[in-house]
Amino acid sequence: MAKMTRGTAVLLGVGLAAGAGVAGAQTLNLYTARHYDSDEQLYSAFEDRTGVEVNVLQGDSDQLIERIEREGEASPADVFMTVDAARLRRAEEADILAPVESEVLVERIPSELRHPDDLWFGLSERVRIVYYDTEVYDEPPLERYEELADPRFEGEICIRSSNNDYNQSLVASLIEANGVEATEQWAEGLVDNMARTPQGGDTDQIRAVAAGECSIGVGNHYYWVRLALSDDPADQAVADRVGMIFPNQDGRGTHRNIGGAAMVAGAPHPEAAREFLEFLVSDEAQKLFSAGNNEFPAVEGVDPVAVLEPYVDYTLDDLNVAVLGENNAEAVRLMDRAGWR
Amino acid sequence: MAVSAHSLPLFTRMALAARRAGLWPLMMAVIALFVALPVLTVLGHVFVPAPEIWSHLASTVLPRYLVNTAGLALGVGIGVLVMGVGTAWLVVMCRFPGQRIFEWALLLPLAVPTYVIAYAYTDFLQFSGPLQTLLRDTFGWGTGDYWFPPVRSLGGAIVLLSLVLYPYVYLLTRAAFLEQSVCVLEVGRTLGRGPWKLFGTIAVPLARPAIAGGAALALMETLNEFGAVQFFAVDTFTTGIYRTWFGLGERTAAAQLAGVLLLFVLVLLLLERVSRGKAQFFHTSSRYRELPQYELAGLRRWLAVIGCGLPVVLGFLIPAVLLLEMSLTAGDQQFGWSFLPYVFNSISLSTIAALAAVGLAVLLSYGVRLAPSPLTQAAVRVSAMGYAIPGAVIAVGILIPLGWMDQQLYALLRGEFGWNVGLLLTGTGFALVYAYLVRFLAVSYNAVQASLTKVTPSMDAASRTLGKTAGGTLRRVHAPIMRGSLLGAGILVFVDVMKELPATIILRPFDFTTLAVRSYELASDERLSQSSTASLAIVLVGIVPVMLLSRAMRRSRPGYSEPGG
C-alpha cells in the first residue's frame, strides 16, 4: 500500500507538471482519433502561424467520447477530431459538443459536410468503393452497391466484418436510400455471395482480390492509394491488378464518409479552438490534412494528392452525413440479422 | 529481489499494528473495494432491464459468442496445460541436450503480446501472404486447388494464443516443481513408481494449486482478449461487448454481457475448487537437495528436445524473425530518438504497477491466511475479478467514479482556493496505475498465493510458538521461502503491463505514448509492417525481465547452492 502511494505520487507529480502546461493560455488541447504521422506537420504549421501550442491525445473515437463525457466540466479538451460521421453524431448525442460561429467555416465547407447547427465540420472526404480483379473481369462487373447482392456473384465477394465503422456507415446510407427492409434483403444476398468469412481490414480485401481469393472486394479508396504509392513493388503489383469502381454514378453517387472536427462544450480555450478549426480549412492545412491519409479535401478548389486527381469529378452521395450517424444502430442490427459476421 | 526485501520492514510494522487491532479483515475489505470499484461500477448496469436488445442479441449473435468463447477457452486451456506442465516437468526432472537453455528460453514467448503474434502470423500465413503465394507460384496452384489451414479461424486463434500464454502455466508449475521437497519424490521412487506415475500421482497433484493458478491466468487472458481474436475473425463475448457498447450504443446490454463473462469465470474457478475437494496440499518435509534428474537416452532425448523446442520456436523465434524482417524492410519511419520516450514510458509504468500489484497481493494473501473468514475470502475473490474483464470496460468503469471525484475536487479547489488544477485523477498517471492494479492484481495474487501454500501451517505454528509475531513470521519464515515467487509475480505484472493496450489507450495522459500504443496506432491504421518496429521493441524490452526471472527462480529454490560458492 505504501509502495503504491509512493509510486502514484511520482506519476501524479509528472501529471501535475503536464497539467500546469495544459492550463496555460497559449495552448490547444486536441482529442483525436486520427493517427497519421503527417498530422504533426499540421500542428506545427498551426503553432508557427498562431503561437498556440497543440497538446495531443490520440485514441479510438468512441473511447475519447466516453472520456470527455466523464471528465465533464473539468475536461481539458478543446477540439475533438474523428474519422467517421457516426462517431460525430455520437459525440453530439453525448452532449459534449458546442457550436462554433464562424463565417470562414460556413463559407469554405459545403453544407452537406457539416452539422446543420454548426456542431461539427467535415474536413476531408473518403469514399467506400468496389474493387475487382482485372484478370477475371475486363470490364467493371457492376455499377451499383445494390448489385453486390446479385446471385451472379455467388462466392466472389470479399468484405470485412460488420464490426467495422465504415461498413456500418455504408449500410446506414443504403437504409436511407432504399429503406430497412430492402437493405436487409440486400445484406442477406451479400452474405450469400461472400467468398469467405469476413476477416481482416480493407487492405486485406484488396490483397485478397489481387491474389485471386475473390474477384470483388469492398474497401475505402485510400487503402488502394497507399498500396499504389508504396515503395514495395509487391504492393504496387497489388494496386495494378485491381480495378476500382465508384458505384452509383448514375444515381445518388458513391457513398462518402468524412473526417471531421468539433469544439468540445466547455472548452477551456474556445478562441484557440475556433482559430484551429478555421486554420484546418485553409488551403495550406487542407492539403496537409487530406494528404495525410490520401483523402479528398472538403474545401472545393483544393487539389488532392496527384494520384487522386482523375477522380475528383465523380458524383458523391450528397446525403448529409449526419444521417449516417442516425441510422448507425439500425444498420448494426440489420447486419446482425442478416448473419454478416 | 529489491522489491519485497526493501519493503517488508515497513509492511511488517503495518501488519503487526493491524493484527493487534484486529484490523486485517477491515483493511482487506477496503483494498478489495478499492480494486473492485470499477468492476462493480460496470456491473451496476446489470440490474437495469433491457429486454428488447437482449432478444435481438439472443436471436442473432449470442449463440455464436457462446460457442466461440467456450471453444476458445477449452482449446487454449488444453493447449497451455499440455505445453506448460509438460515442458516444466521435462526441464526440472530430466536431463537432455539443451535442457539448461530451455529452462529460460521456454519463458520467452511471454514477451510476445497476443496481438503481436496475431499480426505476425496472419500476415504471413493468409491466402495473400508470402507463404501461400510462394506455394501457388511454385506448384502452379490456383484458388481452390489446394487446402491450407485457415489462420484466421477459431483453430488458428487457439494455437497462436496457446503459444504465447502457456508460459503462465510453465512459470508457476516449474516453480512449484522446484519447491517440492525431494523426499516426497524419493518416497515415490522407493515405492516403485516410475517417472510417469511419479509425475501423475505425486508431482502434479502437489503442484495443482500452481497449475490451476497458471491456467486460470491464461484462460482469463484469453477471455478478455480483444485485438487478437478480432484479427482472427472470431467473435467472442469480449468482441461482442465492444460491439454492443460502441456499435449498437447499448451500454447497459454491454455491461450485462460483461456480467455473463464474469459469471463464466467464476464458474470456472469454482469448478477447480470443487474438484480439488477438501484436499489441501502442504509439504511436510523440508529436505531440499538438488532434485535427482532422469537421464534421457536415445529417441527420448530428442523427443524431449523437440517437445521443449517447438513452443519456443513457434511462440518466439518465428514471430521475432518475421517482425525483424518487416521492421528492416518497411519499419516505423519515426524510429530513432523519438522512440526513447516510448520505451521510458513503458518501463516506468510497468515498474510502478508491478511494485503496487505485488505489495497488494502480499497483503491480501497474508490476510486470508491470518484471518480466514468468509469476509476475507470474498474480498480476495472480488478484487481478483478484474483480470477477466476486458481492459476497455475496466477503463470506462474507472472513468465513471474517478471522473466524478475529479469533478468534485475540481469544483472544491476552484471554489475554495481559486486553483485550476485540471484533472488530478483521470488526467494523470494515477488512473492508469489504478487500471493496471484492477486488471493484474489476479496475476500477482495467484503467484503469491500459490507459493504461500508451500509454507506449511506447522511452520507458522512453530514460529509463533517461538515467540515471533505475525509480522516477524512473515519476514523471517515466509519471505525467504517466497522470494522467488514474489519476484516472479512482479515480473509477470511488469510484462503484462508492457503489453496492455485498451486501458492504456483510453486512460493515458496528454502526449503520453507507450510502445504498445505506438504499435497499435499503426496496426489499427493497417500499417502492419510499420507497426512491427514498436512490436519488436515490446518483445525486446520484455525479454530482459523474463531472463532475470528465470535466473532468480533457479536461485530461489531452497537448498540451491551457487556453483563454487
Based on the domain organization, do B322 and B447 belong to the same domain?
no
Q: Are residues A206 and A63 in the same domain?
A: no
A136 domain residue, yes or no: yes
Is B543 a domain residue? yes
Residue A145 has pLDDT above 50, yes or no: yes
Is residue B422 included in any domain, yes or no?
no
Task: Give yes or no for residue A69 having a pLDDT over 70.
Answer: yes
Mean pLDDT, chain A, rounded, equals 88
Instruction: Tell if the CB–CB gap between A161 and B433 is shorter than 8 Å.
Output: no
| Residue A261 and residue A223 in one domain | no
Residues A43 and A96 both lie in one domain? yes
Residues B274, B149, single domain; the answer is yes
Contact A12 B429 (CB under 8 A): yes
**Are residues A141 and A249 located together in one domain of the fold?**
yes
Residue B57 inside a domain? The answer is: yes
Q: What share of chain A has pLDDT > 70, as a percent?
A: 93
**Residue A260: what pLDDT?**
93
ipTM of the complex: 0.79
Write out the residue range of the structural domain in which residue A275 sits. 27-125+257-308
Which pLDDT value is given to residue B556?
56
pLDDT at A17 over 70: no
Looking at the complex, report in whole angstroms how far the Cα of residue A251 sits from the nearest Cα belonging to chain B. 29
**Are residues A333 and A246 part of one domain?**
yes
Does the residue A7 lie in any domain? no
Query: Quick check: A70 and B392 CB within 8 A?
Result: no
Judge residue B137's burial from the number of C-beta atoms within 10 Å of its C-beta, 0-12 exposed, 13-18 middle, 19 or more buried: exposed
Name the strand (E) or helix (H) holding B308: helix B298-312
Distance CA B88, CA B283 (A): 19
CB nearest to A60's CB, from B56, B334, B505: B505
- Chain A nearest-CA distance from B480, in A, is 20
Same domain, A139 and A90: no
Give A252 to chain B, closest Cα distance, Å. Answer: 26
Across the interface, whether the CB atoms of A57 and B511 are under 8 A apart is answered yes
Residues 6+ apart with CB under 8 A from A181: none
Residues in A closer than 8 angstroms to B152, CB to CB, are 197, 199-200
What DSSP line would sit under B461-511, residue for residue?
A: HHHHHTT--HHHHIIIIIHHHHHHHHHHHHHHHHHHHHH--HHHHHH--TT
Lowest mean pLDDT among A6-15, A282-291, A328-337, B192-201: A6-15
Within a domain: B374: yes
Cell of residue B483, nine digits:
522470494
Contact between A204 and B126 under an 8 Å Cβ cutoff? The reply is yes
Instruction: Indicate the number of domains in chain A.
Output: 2
Both B462 and B351 in one domain: the answer is yes
Within this chain, do residues A147 and A227 fall inside the same structural domain, yes or no?
yes
Let me know whether B118 and B259 are in one domain: yes
Number of separate helices (H) and strands (E) present in chain B:
27, 2
**Same domain assignment for residues B275 and B356:** no
Q: Is residue B134 part of a domain?
A: yes
- Please answer whether residues B198 and B189 qualify as being in contact, where contact means their C-beta atoms are separated by less than 8 angstroms: yes
Q: Is the domain of B205 the same as that of B313?
A: yes
Q: CA torsion sign, A316 to A317 to A322 to A328? A: negative
Assess if residue B9 is contained within a domain. yes
For residue B6, the chain A residue with the least C-alpha distance is: A3
For residue B139, give the CATH number of its domain.
1.10.3720.10
pLDDT in tens, chain B (565 residues): 334 444 455 556 555 555 555 677 777 888 888 888 888 887 777 777 877 888 888 888 889 988 999 999 999 999 999 999 999 989 888 888 888 889 888 989 988 888 889 888 988 888 888 888 888 888 888 777 888 888 888 999 999 999 999 998 998 888 788 777 666 777 777 777 777 777 777 778 878 888 888 888 888 888 888 878 888 888 888 888 888 877 777 777 887 888 788 777 777 777 777 766 555 555 555 555 566 677 888 888 889 999 999 999 999 999 999 989 888 887 777 777 778 888 899 999 999 999 999 999 888 887 887 777 777 777 787 777 777 777 877 887 887 788 888 888 888 887 777 776 677 787 788 889 999 999 888 888 877 877 777 677 777 778 878 877 777 777 787 777 777 778 878 888 998 899 888 788 878 887 788 888 888 888 877 788 888 888 898 888 888 888 887 776 666 555 555 444 3
- What CA–CA distance (Å, rounded) separates B185 from B191? 10
Residues A221 and A154 reside in one and the same domain: yes
Among B4, B510, B518, the strongest candidate for a mutation testing the A interface, having the largest count of A CBs within 10 A, is B510
A235 shares a domain with A143: yes
pLDDT above 80 for A280: yes
The CATH number for A95's domain is 3.40.190.10
Task: Say if residue A330 is in the same domain as residue A185.
Answer: yes
Phi and psi at residue B180, in whole multiples of 5°?
-70, 140
A15 in a structural domain: no
Comparing alpha-carbon positions, the chain B residue that sits nearest to A24 is: B420
Closest CA to A170 of A233, A118, A219: A219
Q: Find residue A217's DSSP bridge partners.
A: A131, A158
What is the DSSP track for B182-230? HHHHHHHHHTT--HHHIIIIIIHHHTHHHHHHHHHHHHHHHHT--HHHH
Together in a domain, B6 and B118: no
Q: Tell me if B423 and A231 make a contact (CB, 8 A cut-off).
A: no
Asked whether residue B175 falls in the same domain as residue B205, the answer is: yes
Q: Which residues of chain A does B133 touch, with a Cβ-Cβ cutoff of 8 Å?
A: 211
In this predicted structure, what is the pLDDT of residue A9? 42
Res A121 pLDDT > 90: yes
Domain membership of residue A315 (yes or no) is no
Least CB-CB distance to A329: which of B122, B248, B411?
Answer: B248
Q: Do the domain assignments include residue B228?
A: yes
Q: Is the pLDDT of residue A80 over 90?
A: yes
Average pLDDT over residues A308-332: 88
- Find residue A114's DSSP bridge partners: A121
Query: What's the domain range around B185?
Result: 50-279+293-328
Nearby residues of A298 by Cβ (< 8 Å), 6 or more positions away: A108, A109, A110, A113, A121, A122, A123, A124, A125, A258, A281, A286
Cell of B199: 509425475
Do B323 and B345 lie in one domain? The reply is no
The DSSP H or E segment spanning A70 is helix A61-71
Is residue B431 in some structural domain?
no
Residues A207 and A331 in one domain: yes
B10 & B99 share domain: no
Strands A121-133 and A216-220 come out as: antiparallel
Residue A331 and residue A211 share a domain: yes
pLDDT in tens, A191-248: 999 999 898 889 999 999 998 899 999 999 999 999 999 888 889 999 999 999 999 9
Residues in chain B with CB shorter than 8 Å from the CB of A14 are 428-429, 509
Kindly determine whether residue A7 and residue B355, on different chains, have CB atoms separated by under 8 Å. Answer: yes
A203 is a domain residue: yes
Helix axis angle for B2-20 and B479-499, nearest 10°, is: 110
Same domain, B117 and B12: no
Number of domains in chain B: 2
Identify the sign of the CA torsion B396, B398, B404, B409: negative
**Neighbour tally for B1: CB within 10 Å:** 14
